[in-house]
A and B are shown apart, each in its own frame.
Chain A
Amino acid sequence: MTTRRPALALLALALLPGIAPCGYSSNDKDASSGAAASKAAITVTADKGCSIDHATLAAGGIDFTVKNVDATAVSEVEVLSGDRIVGEKENLPPGFSGNFSITATAGDYTLYCPGAATEKTPLKVTGESTDVDTSAAALATQASKGYAKYVNTQIGYLVDAAKNLNAALQGTDLAAAQKAYAEARPFYEKIEPVAESFPALDPAIDARADGVDPTSITGFHRIEYGLFKVKSLDGLAKYGTGLVRDVTKLQSKAKQLSKQDMPYQLTELANGAQGLLDEVASSKITGEEERYSHIDMLDFANNDEGAQQAFAQLVPILEKTDPALTKQIQQRFDALNALVDTYRDSAEPSGYMLYSALTTADKRKLAAAVKAVQEPLSRVASKVAG
């Protein structure tokens, strides 16, 4: 047996981003001999594809160094258990190298280098390990249930806020109703992908008057039209009642769903987070969503938060396999949040500057910050699938 590091050190190493000290041209460590190793060097070349100096590895913590010599089609290296990614290194164009670590129990694994001449190489992990990898299945359930709890909480707030809005719509105070409208919007915007999964409910609650008469729709934007464009409460009472009915329906459907072991698949969490950012990029940046009230920044901030919450549930899973990507996405969410915060305005009922007050340069900066999250986030679904 080759030497093994203490389990605690290995675990700590596994949580470190793989890019830290590697540079882009560091030399490979010497390949050690022996049947079952805890260190292995992967070399990627155009001719031979992906090769590894040890095909049999010892259970426990395993450190990989990776070097892409000249394989232009390859930019990442993965270790798979079945179809599940257990560890990987990205951003590896020719001329760059890096490292990553996994904690593996005995069994068959695959070294996968997408795009390489030899894409897949079998790996064997043997022996007993004292490092117990937290069960992937348990983590998955935890993430799914965690997200379901978040969704149900937000829908609970949504129902309360819709009731307040409805009460205001039954009254005569326009300003109070406008305020109640802005107070109800965030909760829907946070969980929109879940609502969109119910094809009848989403249009009833959140349809926009795209190419149709604004009086022909129901839900939030019908109420917005009355409150901010017509500036009158006339005829809005029934839409308030309808909204309460529809969000209550949404609440019971979401509760029903959360009784399952896996209320939401992990890929759905990843895609849902991405869907929320798509929403931001396609309709918030353009100011189409709140075309009468111009409180788009409020929706923007809440789409962003909803996306980040869905992603946050995946972090314990993702950071085991790809700590660098996890950190990158977290940092980019932080940067986006910091930028969104600069548009806060406590004098506005929505708490944010009206979207009509933003300049083109503001919008372009926001759009770039959203794209910066979207691109790495688009890789998450495949990494938590399986």
Chain B
Amino acid sequence: MTDQQQSGPAARPSRRLFLGGALGAAGAVAVGVGGFAAGRATADDSADPTASQVPFYGAHQAGISTAAQDRLAFAAFDVTATDRLELMQMLGTWAAAASRMALGEQVGPVETHPQAPPADTGEAMGLHAANLTITVGFGPSLFDDRFGLAKHRPEALEQLPPLPGDLLRRELSFGDIGVQACADDPQVAFHAIRNFARIARGTAVMRWSQLGFGKTASTSTAQATPRNLMGFKDGTRNIKNSDTKDLDEYVWVGDETDQPWMKGGSYLVTRRIRMLIENWDTDYLADQERVFGRIKDSGAPLTGTHEFDTPDFKAVKDGKPVIDTRAHIRLAAHENNDGVRILRRGYSYTDGIDPVTGYLDAGLFFIAYQKNAHDQFVCLQHRLGQHDNLNEYIQHTSSALFACPPGLSGPGDWWGKALFEA
């Protein structure tokens, strides 16, 4: 056929059959429908679908004290709509979609009208919930004059100040709304962010996004401490979800807040920390251990023999502190920071290679939750950014702060409902 000969690499067949009816191409449509049905029939496979579900509704948002899942998909959005109701409807639709995805269900029916795109994008069909949690927070920039929210901005939601060692890329930082999706299946986490972005289209655009391929923190005593890309166990002394006292003291916003809509919520800080991996890989073991203050293999502090041994920051050997004065664990330890603690929940990431140098672009996408980021994260990072031995091997390339409201009470509640009604 001449038609086929001409439709070689240069031809651009339309993605949508424009004259499908008029030119009698209806057969192609029928084939498509059959193929789809077959795909769906094989989707319901494995055993108990409820085994991997994290409750979506509750006093606090899931995804904070929840035992850290293996994978992360994170996105920051900027609102483009000027209409307050449109933004509220988007948040309401997000909440409904999230409640369903947390059950391993699709955000809406696949079959409505043959001529309409399905409500759900479909790639998570048959994958179950994989412990999916979706956590939403509002950035300082949302509280300007666009939606009348300025008077409801908590004092604690002041943009983070410049911190020592910051090399922030603006296009990878900040945002009106932040969404953290964590799951044990990367496709489930991505599916959540993708469908949020789709629901947002025309109301909000994605400003930046980050995938994390492996958890670097444990938030449960049942979990072993994972290693970061430097090969170290970092975060051994993280707040664990069984410590409700610690959570109340350091993580959940309480009566101290100036904005009641944030009570029961938490402040989220994200930092994309690129590791200069090639340099690190050539550093000798004793120096690597000096940098962290831990033994690489066991994860024990240099003053101990087991991972969970309490570091002895006073120990001295040959006239020198055993744990270096600039060791990461010394500077980050709550004993040395007036008791300040944060809940860490970071993920290792890679974004391929640096196009200029060919070096790996990889590191830690740091995530921390706390009662007040200015009193907690900022205080810690001030010390770390100035003195940490680790600074030679890392660069903070992105930063964001979000106020995550408390959990949703049930269907009909949505992220920010109390804020918009305040």
Q: Which residues of A contact B (CB under 8 A)?
A: 19, 23-24, 46, 68-75, 83, 91, 93-96, 114-115, 193-194, 196-197, 199-200, 202-204, 206-212, 216-217, 257, 260, 263-265, 267-268, 270-272, 274-275, 278, 328, 332, 368, 371-376, 378-379, 381-383, 385
**B184-199 at interface with A (beta carbon < 8 Å):** 198
In the complex, which residues of chain A have a beta carbon less than 8 angstroms from the beta carbon of B46? none
When C-beta atoms are compared, the residue in chain B nearest to A19 turns out to be: B85
**A95 to B85 Cα, complex, angstroms:** 13
With beta carbons under 8 angstroms apart, the residue of B19, B92, B109 that contacts A96 is B92
When C-beta atoms are compared, the residue in chain A nearest to B417 turns out to be: A95
**A98 to B396 Cα, complex, angstroms:** 46
- Interface centre among B2, B12, B13, B114, by most chain A C-beta atoms within 10 angstroms, is B12
In the complex, which residues of chain A have a beta carbon less than 8 angstroms from the beta carbon of B107? 73
Q: Which residues of B contact A (CB under 8 A)?
A: 2-3, 6-23, 80, 85, 88-89, 92-93, 95-97, 99-100, 105, 107-109, 112-117, 119, 198, 201-202, 205, 410-414, 417
Query: Are the CB atoms of A209 and B10 closer together than 8 Å?
Result: yes
**A91 to B97 Cα, complex, angstroms:** 12
**A202 to B201 Cα, complex, angstroms:** 31
In the complex, which residues of chain A have a beta carbon less than 8 angstroms from the beta carbon of B117? 378-379
Q: Give chain B nearest CB distance to A152 CB in angstroms.
A: 15
**A212 to B16 Cα, complex, angstroms:** 24
Q: Give chain B nearest CB distance to A140 CB in angstroms.
A: 13
In the complex, which residues of chain B have a beta carbon less than 8 angstroms from the beta carbon of A216? 10
Identify 25 residue pairs between A and B in the complex whose beta-carbon atoms are under 8 Å apart, listed by A's number: A46-B411, A70-B410, A72-B99, A73-B100, A75-B93, A91-B93, A93-B89, A93-B92, A93-B95, A93-B414, A96-B89, A115-B112, A194-B18, A196-B14, A200-B2, A204-B6, A212-B8, A265-B20, A267-B21, A271-B17, A275-B15, A275-B16, A278-B16, A368-B205, A375-B202
Query: Are the CB atoms of B112 and A372 closer together than 8 Å?
Result: no
**A331 to B205 Cα, complex, angstroms:** 17
In the complex, which residues of chain A have a beta carbon less than 8 angstroms from the beta carbon of B115? 267, 270, 381-382, 385
Assuming A72-B100, A217-B10, is B19 touching A95 (CB within 8 A)? no
Query: Are the CB atoms of A194 and B15 closer together than 8 Å?
Result: no
Q: Give chain A nearest CB distance to B27 CB in angstroms.
A: 15
With beta carbons under 8 angstroms apart, the residue of B10, B20, B92, B113 that contacts A94 is B92
In the complex, which residues of chain B have a beta carbon less than 8 angstroms from the beta carbon of A265? 20-22
Query: Are the CB atoms of A372 and B3 closer together than 8 Å?
Result: no
Q: Give chain B nearest CB distance to A242 CB in angstroms.
A: 13
Q: Give chain A nearest CB distance to B259 CB in angstroms.
A: 21
With beta carbons under 8 angstroms apart, the residue of A46, A208, A268, A373 that contacts B21 is A268
Assuming A115-B108, A196-B18, is B411 touching A202 (CB within 8 A)? no
Q: Give chain B nearest CB distance to A360 CB in angstroms.
A: 9
Query: Are the CB atoms of A193 and B113 closer together than 8 Å?
Result: no
Assuming A197-B14, A209-B10, A264-B19, is B411 touching A372 (CB within 8 A)? no
**A381 to B113 Cα, complex, angstroms:** 9
Query: Are the CB atoms of A197 and B109 closer together than 8 Å?
Result: no
In the complex, which residues of chain B have a beta carbon less than 8 angstroms from the beta carbon of A83? 113
Q: Give chain B nearest CB distance to A207 CB in angstroms.
A: 4
In the complex, which residues of chain A have a beta carbon less than 8 angstroms from the beta carbon of B20? 265, 268
In the complex, which residues of chain A have a beta carbon less than 8 angstroms from the beta carbon of B198? 375
Query: Are the CB atoms of A75 and B113 closer together than 8 Å?
Result: no
**A71 to B16 Cα, complex, angstroms:** 33
19 further contact pairs, Cβ within 8 A, besides A94-B95, A270-B115, A375-B201: A23-B85, A70-B411, A73-B100, A73-B109, A94-B412, A95-B414, A197-B14, A197-B22, A199-B6, A200-B6, A208-B10, A208-B12, A212-B9, A257-B19, A267-B21, A368-B205, A372-B201, A381-B116, A385-B115
**A23 to B89 Cα, complex, angstroms:** 10
In the complex, which residues of chain A have a beta carbon less than 8 angstroms from the beta carbon of B105? 73
Q: Give chain A nearest CB distance to B288 CB in angstroms.
A: 38
Assuming A19-B85, A196-B18, A209-B10, is B3 touching A95 (CB within 8 A)? no
Q: Give chain B nearest CB distance to A239 CB in angstroms.
A: 14
With beta carbons under 8 angstroms apart, the residue of B7, B14, B92, B99 that contacts A275 is B14
In the complex, which residues of chain B have a beta carbon less than 8 angstroms from the beta carbon of A328? 202
In the complex, which residues of chain A have a beta carbon less than 8 angstroms from the beta carbon of B114? 382, 385
With beta carbons under 8 angstroms apart, the residue of A71, A211, A332 that contacts B202 is A332
**A270 to B117 Cα, complex, angstroms:** 13
When C-beta atoms are compared, the residue in chain A nearest to B206 turns out to be: A368
Query: Are the CB atoms of A197 and B96 closer together than 8 Å?
Result: no
4 closest cross-chain pairs (CB), A and B: A70-B411, A382-B116, A382-B113, A207-B10
Query: Are the CB atoms of A24 and B11 closer together than 8 Å?
Result: no
In the complex, which residues of chain A have a beta carbon less than 8 angstroms from the beta carbon of B21? 265, 267-268
Query: Are the CB atoms of B88 and A114 closer together than 8 Å?
Result: no
**A19 to B92 Cα, complex, angstroms:** 15
**A68 to B93 Cα, complex, angstroms:** 11
Q: Give chain B nearest CB distance to A121 CB in angstroms.
A: 16
- Interface centre among B16, B410, B413, by most chain A C-beta atoms within 10 angstroms, is B16
With beta carbons under 8 angstroms apart, the residue of B12, B100, B412 that contacts A202 is B12
When C-beta atoms are compared, the residue in chain B nearest to A22 turns out to be: B85
Q: Give chain A nearest CB distance to B159 CB in angstroms.
A: 21
Q: Give chain A nearest CB distance to B173 CB in angstroms.
A: 15
Q: Give chain A nearest CB distance to B208 CB in angstroms.
A: 11
When C-beta atoms are compared, the residue in chain B nearest to A73 turns out to be: B108
Q: Give chain B nearest CB distance to A267 CB in angstroms.
A: 5
In the complex, which residues of chain A have a beta carbon less than 8 angstroms from the beta carbon of B413? 95
